[in-house]
Chain A
Amino acid sequence: MNTHLKTATLGLALALSGCATIISGSRQDVHINSYPKEARVAINEIDMGPTPLQQKLKRNQEYTLLLELEGYEPYITTLKKKFNAWYLGNVLIGGLIGLVVDPITGAMYQLKPEEIDGQSKEGTSYTMDNGTLYLTISMEVDPNWEQVGQLQRKP
């Protein structure tokens, strides 16, 4: 009886889930790195700490990223929600319920950095691995900062 109940519960959970929801989940792992490191990251103007940084973000929202580091120009970019190809899996296994569930959970989307004319914004590079977004930002030196010296460690 107990096994039947477990099987029925699992079956119901799978039947009521969408393909992309099962495979990708409603949140996406985003790793943010920068050159140089230790840049302060703000997501939607909320301070998240220095790079490198890892955050699980909801797939059905868009986010504004701001990176700031002394001596460098502030860098602003946006994480956009793009179509997640796993949603097409509903044609095979998710069925009608999956077609509805995936948009509700946000799993039909995946977050990617904004593009300009099909190219990543200057200074942004990224890779996707198993649904995780690895984002690297190259910070540009602020021309208003002037180097007046350099400290060296004594041998």
Chain B
Amino acid sequence: MRYAFLFFSVVITFGITGCSPKLASHVSNPLTSLTPDEPVAFLDVEHQLPDDLIKVGSLRFQDSGFSTDCSFNSLLNKARIEARKNGANIVKVTDTKKPDLWSSCYRLKIDLYRYNGDVAKLKQYELKLD
């Protein structure tokens, strides 16, 4: 009985959290959403931001404790969805913590920007499939 209770508690916990990382977002300047075919550039820590940007907001991905879907590429893909929703076309990684002894997850701090130039011309990180 106790075992069954434990089993279903685990199933429900993972079912509800979905093993997703914790996302804290602060969108200070939401703009008109982008369509799925409008490109979004990923700028890693070492990539330079262009001039004339509008800051849209910031995101912070943390380990929820049950997170498993938290690779670098997966988090950037989630950030892109948030960026499009809020009208940003640049996802700029400002701080990266790699998986370590305390967490098996990447933890990222990200700023979202709107750039009126061609984002395809910027030096950027190329998203990979895990």
Give the distance to chain A from B60, nearest Cβ to Cβ, in Å: 20
Q: Which residues of B does A touch, CB under 8 Å?
A: 4, 6-7, 10-11, 14-15, 18-19, 36, 66, 68-69, 73-74, 77, 80, 104, 127-130
The answer to whether A10 has its CB under 8 Å from any CB of chain B is: no
* Main SS class of interface, A: mixed
A-B contact count (CB 8 A): 47
A-B contacts, 17 of them at CB < 8 A, read A43-B129, A44-B127, A45-B80, A45-B127, A46-B128, A57-B129, A61-B69, A76-B36, A87-B11, A91-B4, A91-B7, A99-B6, A103-B10, A103-B14, A105-B68, A106-B19, A108-B14
Q: Nearest Cβ distance between residue B79 and chain A, in whole angstroms?
A: 12
Among A64-119, those with CB < 8 Å from B are: 66, 76, 81, 83, 87, 90-91, 96, 99-100, 103-106, 108
Contact of A103 among B36, B68, B73 (CB under 8 A): B68
Across the interface, which residues of A come within 8 angstroms of B69, CB to CB?
Answer: 58, 60-61, 106
Which A residues are closer than 8 A to B by beta carbons? 43-46, 48, 55, 57-58, 60-61, 66, 76, 81, 83, 87, 90-91, 96, 99-100, 103-106, 108
By a CB distance below 8 angstroms, the chain A residues around B4 are 91
- Chain A residues contacting B11 (CB-CB under 8 Å) are 87, 99
- Chain B residues within an 8 Å CB radius of A90: 7
A44 touches B129 (CB 8 A): yes
4 tightest CB-CB pairs across the interface, nearest first? A103-B14, A99-B10, A60-B69, A60-B68
* Bound Cα distance A151, B130 (Å): 42
A46 touches B127 (CB 8 A): yes
Residue in A closest to B15 when the chains form the complex, CB atoms = A83
CA of A90 to CA of B15, assembled, Å? 16
What's the Cα separation between A47 and B80 when bound, in Å? 17
A83 to B10, CA, bound (A): 13
Nearest residue (CB) in A for B18 is A81
Q: Cβ of B129 and Cβ of A103 under 8 Å apart?
A: no
Given A96-B6, A99-B7, A99-B10: A106 touches B68 (CB 8 Å cut-off): yes
Chain A proximity of B72: nearest CB distance (Å) = 13
Q: Is the CB of B68 within 8 A of A104?
A: yes
